[in-house]
Amino acid sequence: MDPLVFLAILVVVAIIALPIVAIVTANSRTSQLRGEMADLMSRIHYLEARLENLAQRMPAPAQPPREPVQSAPASTTVSPQREFDVAPTPAPVLPLVPSAATEVVTTADSEAATTAESITERAPTQVAIAPAHFVSFEAAKPEVASLGDSRTLENRIGSQWFNRIGILAMLIGVAWFLKLAFDNHWIGPLGRVLIGLLAGAALIVWSERFHKRGYAVFSYSLKAIGSGTLYLSLWAAFQLYGLMPAGAAFAAMIAVTAFNGYTAWIQDSELLALYAIAGALSTPLLVSTGGNHEVTLFSYLLILDLAVLVLVALRPWSRLLFVSFVGTVIFIFGWWSSFYSQDQELRTAFFLGGFFILFSLAPRLVKIALDPGESFHIGGPGGWDSLVSYVLPVANAALGFFGFYSLINPATGDWAGAWLAVAFAAYYLLLMRLPEAGPLHAGVRVLPPLHLTAAIVFLTIAIPLKTHGHWLTIGWLVEGAVLLWLSRRVQSMLLRAFGLICTVLGLGALLIMNPPAAIRPIFNERFGTYCVAIAVCAYIAWLARNSHDEQEPVPFMHWPILATVSVIAVSALILIALSWEIHSYWWLRRWSGDPYQFRDYLIYTQFSYSALFMLYGGALLTIGFVRRSAFLRWQALILIAVTIAKVFLLDMSDLSSGLRILSFIGLGVLLLAVSFVYQRDWLNLRGQKDQNS
């Protein structure tokens, strides 16, 4: 087909289609205005009927006797004010609010009686109506409200849904026509690209006409279609037809993105800015050649993220920042899975550092409408602000550490991973202390605790990355004790929670990853680790006993409860540590000695356990008497009760005659001594109040 014929057909289609779209849009606006006018007229009719009803029910006021008034000279006649020159009403209406009526009556004095009467003859009586006297129109006439709702739905269908469906129908029709033309070779490659570029530019120019008339949403839709047409045309010129090199197509798409961003800034439209970000993130995919262009790709993304950060620092468009962050992460993962190698380590680390620092500063630079004290929530006007203020810092910290840790050479992983975690912890501590200056604001109230949490988590991760075995346990226990001490100094519930978590991790590692047994009892690695755990728990008990809560914490985080649990943990750890030493000693003797003495060693082990429980129970009871601590004494009594059960149930059948006699005699002596002390009451426990620890 001749190109001139095609252009003529295209012009005819445009002449027919474009006015139709304009007429549909104008009609939707006219329908909306008619609906609003009908709603206002119904309200006015209702108010008129209401006023007429009130006027009929109100009695007419008694007219005061008129005094003779001397006619004043023409030069001294009081001219009525402009606001009284209105059509008179059939009868005056009394004020509906007594206070307002009283105020009107009392303001008239005797000196102005003549002037007031002359004005009254020519002007209607003023009516004082209190607005609060009438109920709202929606509450009084629900049928009108429902009518407005139906018209709102009608307007939405006519102005928005038909608008989008019409645009989609036009695009489908034009696309089918172009496909038919392309399949029959009516239009060459250059003509196809030029048609796409001209159509995209025309749509953008045409959208400004609707924007000036107040059809903002329709204008933005046309801009999105026009921008998409430009992107696809440039992509076709580069990828399908080879009419332009990759650099030229890339530069042209950047120009389209810059124009959309400038338009969004000028028109103060977040939706247009979102279209611009979508086009900018699509550009690398459209001009991709399938090769490894790390520097070009990451430089482009870094510049784009920096531009978005500047934009959101000046406009409250937080969703742009989150979309930019998600797009950047997707591109990095996609490139990494396809092209990364060890020889690109330094270059990749440089770009990862740029992305990480940029997005770590973003929550303190973005302009948000969220209240600094408002909590996290999804949905509503502050949903995107919540994502940027709460989710983005956590995701950036986790993904940043994961990216840098993946760059570490396996040969240096034993020490580099731990120092990387320490470096991240130091960075977040520095970020938490960064003062407010210029565009750098404080952010939401929970942002500093988030930075502190990240620092503590990275320090906790650094311990297992650097240490193993008993040093891992000791590291977590010491970290927990330090965090609890620091939480007491700064009165931070967050630090107290992390201190407890680290302490629990250390105790769990101690009990689960138990160090191996040693030939030498007491002076070995395992018993030393238990001694550190006992010392940490004793310190926590002392710290909690000498502290008090300035605010109401979670129930299990009260200092008195922590003190109680720590004291119990000290006793339990002492018993477990000594029991392990007894077990290891007799176990080694059992397997290295005479096989015929195997059962004897089992008997010695059970007797040693009973002796340990008796001795520790007696010592704990003595300390409880000296310290006047009922809590310690109750621990001792429970332990002695467990020992009694063991002696009568196990030792009676398992021990030999001699050890059985010693076990029962020792238990009896202990119980008689305890009973004697309680009966004599040497410490006057009955007359004095015990101290609770």
The predicted-structure confidence for 621-664, as pLDDT tens digits, reads as follows 889 888 888 888 889 889 988 888 887 777 777 666 677 777 77
Closest listed residue to residue 630, CA positions, set 567, 691, 561, 566: 691
What is the number of other CB atoms lying within 10 angstroms of the CB of residue 365?
Answer: 18
Closest listed residue to residue 647, CA positions, set 614, 681, 598: 614
Closest listed residue to residue 243, CA positions, set 277, 199, 196: 196
- Buried/exposed code over 578-607 (b: 16+ C-beta within 10 A; e: otherwise): bebbbebbbeeebeeeeeeeeebbebbbbb
> What is the average pLDDT across 221-237?
83
The label of the residue with tokens 């020889």 reads 343
The label of the residue with tokens 């970020």 reads 431
> What is the average pLDDT across 546-556?
73
- Buried/exposed code over 378-388 (b: 16+ C-beta within 10 A; e: otherwise): eeeebebbbbb
Query: How far from each other are the two terminal CA atoms of the chain, in whole angstroms?
Result: 99
Q: What's the token pair of residue 105?
A: 């009556």
Confidence of residue 22 (pLDDT cuts 50, 70, 90): very low
Q: Residue 538: CB partners within 8 Å, gap ≥ 6?
A: 566, 570
pLDDT at residue 210 in the model: 80
For 75-110, the DSSP string reads GGPPPPPGGG-SPPPSS----SSHHHHHHHHHT--G
Which of 6-15, 248-257, 358-367, 603-612 has the lowest average pLDDT?
Answer: 6-15
Confidence of residue 81 (pLDDT cuts 50, 70, 90): very low
Q: What tens digit of pLDDT does each residue of 38-61 get?
A: 778 888 888 888 888 887 777 655
Q: What tens digit of pLDDT does each residue of 131-182 get?
A: 444 444 344 444 444 444 445 677 767 666 776 677 667 767 767 776 777 6
By CB atoms closer than 10 A (0-12, 13-18, 19+), residue 397 is buried
- Higher pLDDT, residue 520 or 329: 329
